[in-house]
């Protein structure tokens, strides 16, 4: 079991923290930011202040190309991604534009009386990307219900039973470019009564929980869609987050501890976490048809979107065409000596082929 006291976590809420953030960002601006954007600014502020409170944690957070996410890829690999899966490539392009817009605002007086970032050499654009990426890949959300020192934390708990799906969506009240981390609606599986509804996510849930938190050490656990051996809770009495081995799991010394980040498709895992999960049961395939966006999954057809496709035969033909296209790209670029991004693209494509094969069988 791993426990982490609340005072040892990085948290942000609609109440502005004291110090530089309060001096540089107006109330209306701060409250209108998405929870993840606020937390990213809190993280960036810790870096800028150079305090010892979280120095060791900040030092271990990956920076730049260490993160493996597409926003850090070179132009050649981004073009490869566009060839194989334009849907995701477009999201990456928009993500960079959003980050640039936010950086511009934070380096001017557009959001407060004085710039939050005063020296671009000391805090370049790449450092803002580092903060945004760290939060999008590591932050736990679904935290709410108890105000403590300006942070809504604690009795989030009581919302639902295991497996309850809650749509995630949030809109900022102040329209600020760069405020939104582009992604489609995701689902958040809430824990049992009394358990904290936590998982890495960049959006808040419809339960009213609008906060997110960085949990040093705990947030280093890797993801497993199925077979994760640990789960999260919040101990209200002790004011600490607890990661514990599931009751039905036996973990031997030296074996990896894992958490489920939720029902994530590989688009999401690659863009925000920098990896692709093999045999991902939640993966999907999305492409533009003549009459709209077509989406298929490995599982039930209830989640499929097939606008304008009049028959299973027609859909099967479209999917088979996409399968041939992807397989042709893999044959055209065989796996030899490739950089990390190229290998990720290959794995991503191979998994999309598996989605198409599964979908074709259901037609």
| CATH number for the domain harbouring residue 245 | 3.90.1410
Better pLDDT: 287 or 194: 287
What secondary structure letter does DSSP report for 255? P
Domain of 312 in residue numbering reads as 283-362
What secondary structure letter does DSSP report for 205? B
Q: In terms of DSSP H, where are the helices of the chain?
A: 20-24, 27-32, 35-49, 55-60, 75-84, 86-106, 125-138, 266-273, 312-332, 340-362
84 SS3 class: helix
**Is the torsion defined by CA of 203, 208, 211, 215 positive or negative?**
negative
| Residues 212 and 302 placed together within one structural domain of the fold | no
Distances (CA, A) of 208 to 131, 136, 164, 166: 25, 19, 16, 11
pLDDT for the residue numbered 335: 62
| Residues 233 and 340 placed together within one structural domain of the fold | no
Instruction: For 113, list phi and psi in degrees, rounded to 5.
Output: -70, -35
Cβ–Cβ under 8 Å, residues 202 and 139: yes
| Residues 110 and 61 placed together within one structural domain of the fold | yes
| Residues 169 and 300 placed together within one structural domain of the fold | no
Number of helices and strands in the chain (H, E): 10, 15
Q: What is the pLDDT of residues 91-139, one digit of tens each?
A: 999 999 999 999 999 999 888 889 999 999 999 999 999 999 999 888 8
Distance, C-alpha 305 to centroid of its chain? 23
Better pLDDT: 183 or 238: 238
Taking residue 332's Cβ as centre, other Cβ atoms within 10 Å add up to 8
CA angle, corner 138, sides to 136 and 139, nearest 5?
A: 75
| Residues 36 and 181 placed together within one structural domain of the fold | yes
| Residues 151 and 77 placed together within one structural domain of the fold | yes
Residue 49 lies in a domain: yes
Separation between Cα atoms, residue 128 and residue 123, nearest integer Å: 8
Residue 265 lies in a domain: no
Domain boundary among the residues 192, 224, 259 is at 259
pLDDT for the residue numbered 142: 53
Stretch 258-279: mean pLDDT, rounded? 90
User: Which residues contact residue 75 at a Cβ distance below 8 angstroms, ignoring those fewer than 6 apart?
Assistant: none
Residue 268 lies in a domain: no
Q: Which of 48-52, 131-135, 278-282, 323-327 has the lowest mean pLDDT?
A: 48-52
| Residues 146 and 49 placed together within one structural domain of the fold | yes
| Residues 251 and 342 placed together within one structural domain of the fold | no
Residue 109 lies in a domain: yes
Cβ–Cβ under 8 Å, residues 135 and 39: yes
What secondary structure letter does DSSP report for 275? -
Distance, C-alpha 254 to centroid of its chain? 28
Distance, C-alpha 304 to centroid of its chain? 23
Domain boundary among the residues 193, 226, 259 is at 259
Phi-psi region of 50 (alpha: psi -120 to 50; beta: other; left: phi over 0): left
What secondary structure letter does DSSP report for 305? B
Q: Which of 11-15, 40-44, 48-52, 124-128 has the lowest mean pLDDT?
A: 11-15
pLDDT for the residue numbered 217: 85
Residue 164 lies in a domain: yes
Domain boundary among the residues 259, 275, 293 is at 259
Residue 19 lies in a domain: yes
Q: Which residues of 202-221 are buried (b: 16+ CB within 10 A; e: fewer)?
A: bbbbebebbbbbbbbebbeb
Separation between Cα atoms, residue 284 and residue 281, nearest integer Å: 9
| Residues 133 and 236 placed together within one structural domain of the fold | yes
Separation between Cα atoms, residue 354 and residue 361, nearest integer Å: 11
pLDDT for the residue numbered 136: 87
| Residues 211 and 303 placed together within one structural domain of the fold | no
DSSP string, 85-123: -HHHHHHHHHHHHHHHHHHHHHTSSSSSSS-S---TTTS
Cβ–Cβ under 8 Å, residues 215 and 135: no
Residue 269 lies in a domain: no
Q: pLDDT category, 285, cuts 50, 70, 90?
A: very high
| Residues 236 and 307 placed together within one structural domain of the fold | no
DSSP string, 263-274: S--HHHHHHHHS
Q: Please check the confidence at residue 179 and state whether its pLDDT lies above 90.
A: no
Q: pLDDT category, 189, cuts 50, 70, 90?
A: very low
Going by C-alpha positions, the residue among 157, 134, 141 that lies closest to residue 67 is 134
Residue 130 lies in a domain: yes
Overall domain count for the chain = 2
| Residues 246 and 298 placed together within one structural domain of the fold | no
């Amino acid at each position: 079991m791993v426990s982490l006291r609340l005072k040892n976590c990085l948290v942000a809420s609609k109440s502005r923290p004291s110090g530089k953030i309060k001096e540089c960002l107006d109330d209306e601006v701060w409250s209108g930011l998405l929870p993840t954007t606020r937390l990213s600014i809190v993280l960036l502020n810790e870096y800028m202040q150079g305090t010892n409170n979280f120095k060791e944690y900040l030092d271990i957070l990956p920076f730049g190309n260490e993160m493996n996410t597409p926003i850090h890829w070179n132009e050649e690999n981004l073009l490869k991604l566009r060839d194989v899966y334009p849907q995701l490539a477009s999201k990456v392009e928009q993500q960079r534009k959003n980050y640039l817009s936010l950086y511009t605002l934070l380096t001017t007086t557009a959001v407060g009386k004085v710039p939050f970032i005063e020296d671009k050499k000391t805090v370049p654009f790449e450092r803002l990307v580092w903060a945004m990426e760290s939060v999008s890949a590591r932050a736990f959300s679904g935290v709410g219900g108890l105000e403590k020192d300006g942070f809504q934390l604690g009795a989030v708990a009581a919302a639902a039973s295991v497996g309850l799906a809650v749509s995630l969506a949030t809109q900022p009240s102040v329209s600020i470019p760069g405020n939104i981390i582009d992604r489609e609606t995701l689902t958040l599986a809430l824990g049992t009564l009394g358990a904290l509804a936590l998982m890495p996510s960049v959006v808040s849930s419809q339960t009213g929980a609008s906060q997110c938190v960085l949990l040093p050490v705990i947030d280093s656990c890797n993801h497993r869609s199925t077979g994760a051996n640990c789960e999260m809770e919040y101990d209200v009495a002790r004011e600490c987050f607890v990661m514990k081995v599931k009751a039905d799991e036996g973990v031997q010394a030296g074996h990896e501890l894992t958490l489920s980040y939720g029902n994530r498709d590989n688009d999401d895992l690659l863009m925000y976490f920098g990896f692709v999960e093999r045999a991902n049961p939640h993966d999907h395939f999305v492409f533009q048809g003549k009459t709209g966006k077509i989406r298929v999954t490995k599982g039930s057809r209830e989640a499929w979107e097939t606008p304008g496709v009049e028959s299973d035969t027609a859909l099967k033909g479209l999917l088979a065409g996409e399968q041939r296209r992807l397989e042709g790209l893999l044959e055209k670029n065989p796996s030899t000596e490739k950089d990390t991004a190229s290998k990720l693209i290959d794995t991503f494509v191979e998994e999309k082929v598996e989605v198409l094969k599964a979908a074709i069988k259901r037609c």
